[in-house]
Structures are given as structure tokens and as C-alpha cells.
Structure 1
Amino acid sequence: MAAPSLYLLLLCSLACLVPSSRSRTLFLPLAKDPSTLRYVATVYHGPSLDPVDRAVDLGGPSLWLDCSASSSPSAVRPVPCRSIQCLAATSDASGLRRACASGASAVCGVRPESGAAGEAAARGGVLAEVAVAVDSVDGSGERSVAAVDRFLISCARGPPGYGATGVRGTLGLGRSRISLPSQVATAFGVRRRFFACLSASEGVIVAGDGPFFPRVDGDISRSLTYTPLATAKSARSSDYLINLTSIKIDGKRLSLDSSSPPHSIKLSTAIPYTAVASPIYPAFGEAFAGAASAMGMARVPPVAPFGVCFDPRTVAATGAGPDVPAIDLVLQSEMVRWRIGGSNSMVRASDEATCLGVVDGGDGLGSTVVLGGHQLEDVLLEFDFGGSRLGFGPPLSARRLACSDLRSEFNSMAFPSL
């Protein structure tokens, strides 16, 4: 564990630059790229606040930016290897590892922990400082640009290669000292937490003092269910994991591998659909198919990447989506469950197939279940990494709401002209 003094010095280096004033709420509108199914946000960089589109990485330890591009924001300042910022940002539980070259003048080289496979950032980069800004509104409703002058980012040594047009990096929201929500909390003196509502159309990330959605159903952020955050050696320390006690389909418990506890669930925006580890997936799929058959749903050949599909004509519709067997992820106790059903559980794969939106995650998944983007959509989530807990609600459709309704709280507060 890093010496506490390093962390305190890092906090001071950020907080002393941007004085805290009245209550402030920061927000990032999200879009979903139709080709990659990744969620994209725009963050503003440099003295002229150049817009940079980034793929959201829910458990990412930092903001990775392709600094090799000719259009990179100006005034990116590499951090020396022997600096307090480098030591604190790459200490234990940071999500990053130091990879400095020899020599007193070496810059702070960084690479992500294992578990970040698939990121272009895995090739490594350097820690750097740059001005970063997002949109904000204060307690009186006045909008402004919330900027941190010496924001720590990771400069990648090549393009990210996500396939989404114009995306030049990742927006790390994880449990690390230099993720976006962590640095924002330090700079503006707000709680170390943020709310996220992912959507196929209009999503949003919100942080700050709140209240956050006062005009939508009496501020639904106050009525969430909470479960403790967990850790696992097989995941990045910056990832958001929660404990899994059991899985139930239509009320019937599945048998989990008792030889490899503890079981966990990871929340991820890096995959579009929930993945279940191979030892469990076959029983999971067959249990769902059996319960669906009892409801009159006719099974059809699978459509990749899905393993369990049905004839759409045999799937009844409700106001919350398809009427299908409920999937309950039982968390720290029988009283705390994450229920997946309706639109969150099914995907229309073709004209002839509606499929269970859960895939076989293989043997190296790292967690028993990885909740992907589709299952997280239109569910309000609170990532309280300061209090080490996750808050979640039922699908917003149960209240005849969607993420777009939450985002509408801020739609009239457009980002100021730059």
C-alpha cells in the first residue's frame, strides 16, 4: 500500500488549483456508437478546450488519449518519473503500473494492470498533465465550464482503434486516484461518486453535490438499493465488482461452482452483452430456455454471438419489453437482488430470432458474471467509490421513464460556445 503522504500530496496538487465554490453538478452526455456498441462522451482539453471523443471505460483507471495524433490538444505536459504525481498515480490499487526508463530526466511511463486487455492503451504510454473541462451547473441553475488546469491523463503511443469514428481514447471512470470522477471530486470538493444512466439513445453521467434529477419522479437517485463493492485478484483494482451469492431463473436457483468461491459480478461498458463464465453458462442457458418453453416461447437456432434464441412470434410483449423469465442475481443476501428482465434480457437478433442477450464468456472471464452494456441500459446506477458501494434501481421503464428523461434535466443547459 502506498504511503498516505503521497496520496495527500496528489490531492493537494489538484485541489489547490481549482478552488471550491458553491454547490456544483457536473454532467457528461453519452451517445452509443452503432458500429461498436460502445458509449462515447466528449471531454474538452487544453487551453482552447478542444473537444475529444472518448469511449467510456467504466472501470478504467485514467483518461487515455492518443497523443500521437497531429490534432492532439496542445499543452500536454509529461510528468517526470520521480515526481509525486507519478508515484501516487502508479501506487498500489491505482489501476496503473509504472514503466519508467532509466535516468533522472525520464518521464513517467505507465501501463494498465492485467485485465485491461483489448485496450490500445495496453501498449503503454506516459503520464501527463493537461487542462480538462466538462459542463456543469451550480445550485442556482447557472451553467458553466468546470475545468481542472493540471488534470492527469495517460498519453497512449498510438491510436485507440475502437472502430468508432473520431474516438481517440478512453474515459476512465474507475476506482483509481486519477480517473475522471476521482480527480473531479478532489478538485471541486464533492463526494467521490457519480451517477450513470446508459442508453441506446441518450445517456448521461452526473457527478457533484446534487440534487441530480429533482424534476423526475421526486429525485429517483434517493431510492436506490445498495450493495458493497468487492475486489478480486483476477480484475483491475479500478474495476467495479460486487459479490454474487447465487443466480435464480424464474425463481429456481442455479448450481454455482462451490470449489471456486467467492463469486463476483463485474460491471463493464467494454462488452455490449452480459457474459457468464463457461462452467456455468450451459446450465444458465438451458434453465432459461426451459422456463421460456413453459411460457410458450418456441426455441429457434441460435444467432451468433447468442446461444439461446426464440421465435419472436411466441414472445409476448409488455410495457417493459418482452415477457420472459426473470433472471435474479442474488448479491450479499437473499434480500438484495439485481433483476434482469424484459428489454434488458432480450435482443432482437433478426426477423426470425429474439435472443437471450447473454453470451458464453469462456474460461478466462475473471468474474462469474460480467454485466455488459445492454443489461445496464436504462438503469440508474450510483458508483460511490468513496463509500465503497454500488447503488442500483429497477429498470426505469417500471416508472415509465428512460435515461433520456434524466438527461433532459440538463438538455436546456447546452455547453457554452467555445
Structure 2
Amino acid sequence: MSLLIKLTIVVVAFISHEHEAIAQFQPPYTSIVIPVSKHIDAAKPLYSAKILTVYEDYTQYLPLNFLIDIDAPFIWHECDLQWNHYPGSCPPNTLCNYPISCEEYQCEDVRTTYSYDNPSCRPVNKGPTLPGWGYCTCPVTVVNPVTGSCGQALLSYDHEYTVSTSDGRNVLSGLYGAYPNAACAPSSSFESFPTNVTGVMALSTSPYALPTYLNGPLKSIMALCLPSTLSVPGVLFYGNSSYYLLPQSDVDVKSFLSYTPLLKHPYSFGYFIGVNAIVIKKRSIDLLANTTTKLSTIDPYTTLRTDIYNHVVRRFSLVTKRIPPAEPIAPFGLCFNTSTKGPKVSIKVPDIDFVLEEGKKWSVSTGNSIKQVTEDVACLAFVDGGATSEPAIVIGTYQFEDNFLVFDLEKSRFGFSSSLLRKKTCCASFNFTMAT
């Protein structure tokens, strides 16, 4: 055998061994984990994710709070654009980014395919040049999730976003970095946001949303658990992990889940499921098969098209007729008098079941269906979306709280637990203590 053939065999064997080693590599983590906070100091309840960003001399982290938006096409936040960014040039406690030129492919891609779809927003043109740069910037349309107003931000090459890794039980010592393109907006864009929240974290299916940049060793599976409390955070996972919540530290939350297919929508990067019926105390309100239902982290309460809403309110009124009614308080249409002469007692009402494919039921229990609006008035936390509402149903965040939700893009399915309170745990029960 010639020397050349022997060397070829050795090289091929070495490459094969390297590929096998890479394929067998198992990182010490199964997911990344992010704390999720609830805010009530804006026009509506909202939820944020705390993520570390690099700033100034690239050696320090600046923690930023981003509103969680599972429908947004790209990330945008408060930051400065500097074409000649160098260590020491960025103002203190400020995130600085390099601009993307209007001539680069990302600019046209985001503007034409992966932008906000809102007919009330004016089209954008080429942006102004930055001093000394010589190229035009790339303005993109953004929509304020609090006010619904249109604005503009400048697309940028983004710095690293850094999050903690997890084994599903604890936070691990390792960190995980992602490098998405995002857009820089002025501080005035966030005046209507909750205090200390200065960005929007896109968690949609868009290729410019964060999940695209988290793939690699991580599977495309996102789990979200919104807290009902302000004092303790909920949790966001990304990756194919088991999930454990205290005090049931040996029970994988996956065992609580039922699944239904995720549906695609031609004009949205968000997440949709099909609902076949709504059942209240064994009486079914039938809907068209697979009635399009959107999942939203921006809408605070479930919105129903008027015809569906009227059926739900009529049925719910019948099964709660022993509870004294109260004058409705906007935006709700059905309210109850909860004043008592003795100790305060929370009202108890029947479940509202969303019936999904294959007869799966997402049960909305009292904690997610009744909102205590004042000391003496509680209301059904569903609102009338109007006669032409499209989609017909939008499930909002009040119905998400203390429900464990999984967006499994690997298998194109949505997992849901119904209320974790019935399992003696809640979304604020993840152990964020770093594992030893």
C-alpha cells in the first residue's frame, strides 16, 4: 500500500472520528432560562424578560427588560447607533450598536418580508446618514404594543444577548450568547412602557425573532409560564428540557401537558391553534371547525368575536345566577357583586373549557376567568372584540397566568397544562438558585 493511500486513510478516519465526536457531544445544559416579570404600571398588564447585553468596553453586562411579544417580527429596543463605535465611545449605561446600511440585504428583507404588518403605518424610506459614515441607515416600522401607535427604529447589527443555561431544575453557571439583528429606537418610544422596560423581545416564528438565534445545540421548543404575582418572577425556557417547579421538585411539568397542533397564519408570525367549541358546565357552544384562535402576550384578556362573546356571556350568566350581579366595569360586560358583611370570600365559578382537536380541553378555572376589579366587584375576564373580529378568538395573558405553555416548533404543536394551582404549584415556583 502506497504512503499516499495510507495517509488518506488516516485523514479520513480522523475526520470521521471528529464528526462522530461532534455528533455525540452533549452540552451540560438542556435549555436556557430567563426570568419573567409582571408589570401593572402601564395601560395594561404586561410581562418582560430580563436579558443581559454587552455595553461600553465589551467587558460588562447591562441587564435590560424586554416586553415579551410572541407575535413581533423582530427585536427592537432603546439604544444608540454609532458607525465608529470603539471602547469608551458609548455613553454610560447605554447599549450602542453598529447600523445596517440601507444597501444591505437585511434591510430590504426586513422591510418587505419580516416587518410589522399594519396598514395604518406610513411606509419608510431610506434613512439619513450618520455623521462621517457616508451610507444611508435602514429605518423600519415598529408598532408600540402598549398604545398601538406606529413608530420607526433603525436596523442594526446587534451586540450579544446573554442568558443563563439550565438543566430544568436550576440555573447553571454557564451562559449562552445569541447575536440577532435588532432595531434601535429612541428613548421616547418607550415612555408608555412599564418602568425600566426599554425593548420588545420578539419570540415569534420570524427568522429575525430571538428563537432563530438560539438554535444550534438547543431544540426549537419554547416554554412560557407567566406569573400572577408581581413579587416573584415566572420563567421562560428554550430548549428540549424537562421542567421542574417547586415544591414538586421531582415532578416534570411535561407530565401535566396536553397538546394540540399549531396552525400557520398567512399574515402573522405568531402562534395559532384551532378551537372547535367552548363548554361551560356541560353545555357546548359550538364553533366552526378549527376556529382560528390566536395566542397573545400583549392582549390582557381573551377577546371573542361578538357572536361568540354573546353566547359565552349568556351561558355564564345562567350558571352563576346565584352570585349577585354588579354594574359592568369596562372593558368587561359581565360583573358580580363580591361585597360581604363578613370575612372576604373569593367567588367560585364553573370552568370554561376550550375544546381543541381530538377532544383535548384547555380548562380556564376561576383564577383565570374572574378578575377582581374593585374591592366589591369581580368580572368575567373576557371581552367583546366586535362583530368582525379576526381572528375570532384571541387568548390573552390573564388566561395564561399560572398555566405552563409549550410552543414546540420541532413537532408543530402547542402544549398546555391548564392551571398549575390545581397541581399545587405555580409559575413563580422555578428555583432560580444557581446549582452547586
- Equivalent residues in 2 for 1:16-415, closer than 5 Å: 21-36=27-42, 37-46=45-54, 47=58, 48-67=60-79, 73-86=94-107, 89=110, 92=113, 94=114, 96=116, 99=124, 101=126, 105-111=135-141, 118-119=147-148, 122-128=150-156, 129-137=158-166, 142-148=172-178, 150-157=179-186, 158-185=188-215, 188-201=216-229, 202-213=233-244, 216-233=249-266, 236-254=267-285, 256=287, 263-293=291-321, 296-312=322-338, 322-333=347-358, 335-363=359-387, 365-405=389-429, 407-408=430-431, 410-412=432-434
Amino acid at match of 1:162: S
Name the Cα RMSD after superposition: 3.3
* Residue aligned with 2:212, SS: helix
Alpha-carbon distance between aligned partners in 1 of 2:351 and 2:146, rounded to the nearest angstrom: 32
Q: 1:65 offset after TM fit, Å?
A: 0.4
Report the Cα offset of residue 292 of structure 1: 1.2
Q: Could you give the per-residue CA deviations for residues 100-131 of structure 1, whole angstroms, max 9, x where no partner exists?
A: 52899443433359x979456x3132221222
Structure-2 separation of matches of 1:110 and 1:278: 34
Task: State the distance in 1 between where 2:352 and 2:307 align.
Answer: 18
| Structure 1 CA distance for aligned equivalents of residues 93 and 182 of structure 2 | 13
Q: Which amino acid aligns with 2:353?
A: D
Q: Does the CA-based 8 Å contact 1:173-1:181 persist in structure 2?
A: yes
Larger Rg: 2
- Any conservation in 2 of the 1:248–1:330 contact (CA below 8 Å)? yes
Structure 1: runs of 5+ lacking an equivalent: 1-18
Structure 1 pair 178–71 and aligned structure 2 pair: CA distance change class (3 A): farther
Cα distance in structure 2, aligned partners of 1:52 and 1:39: 13
Supply the distance in 2 between the matched residues of 1:64 and 1:365 (Cα, whole angstroms).
28
User: What CA distance in whole angstroms lies between the structure 1 residues aligned with 2:302 and 2:259?
Assistant: 21
Residue 289 of structure 1: how far off its partner (Å): 0.7
Q: Say if 1:95 and 1:176, in contact at 8 Å, map to a contact too.
A: no
Q: Equivalents in 2 of 1:395, 1:127: separation in Å?
A: 40
Q: CA deviation at 1:310?
A: 1.5
Query: Amino acid of the residue matched to residue 53 of structure 2?
Result: H
2:220 counterpart letter in structure 1 = R
Instruction: Assess if the C-alpha contact under 8 Å between 2:303 and 2:394 holds in 1.
Output: yes
What count of residue pairs does the alignment treat as equivalent?
Answer: 376
Change (3 A) 1:77 1:264: same
Q: Cα distance 1:159–1:131, how it changes in 2: closer, same or farther (>3 A)?
A: same
Q: Distance in 2 between matches of 1:24 and 1:86?
A: 34
With over 3 angstroms needed to count, the CA separation of the structure-2 counterparts of 1:141 and 1:271, relative to structure 1, is closer
Percent identity (aligned): 25
Quick one: distance in 1 between partners of 2:41 and 2:388? 26
Shift in Å, 1:387: 2.7
**For the residues of structure 1 that align with 2:193 and 2:172, how far apart are their CA atoms?**
37
Show CA shifts across 1:138-193 (max 9, x none).
69974133223x321122354223341121111111111121222112xx421112
Instruction: Give the whole-Å Cα distance in 2 for the aligned partners of 1:50 and 1:336.
Output: 43
What TM-score results when the alignment is normalised by the length of structure 2? 0.76
Counterpart CA distance in 2 for 1:174 and 1:401 is 27
Task: Show the counterpart of 1:5.
Answer: none
Q: Which amino acid aligns with 1:65?
A: H
Residue 319 of structure 2 aligns to a residue in which SS?
helix
**TM-score when normalising by structure 1:** 0.79
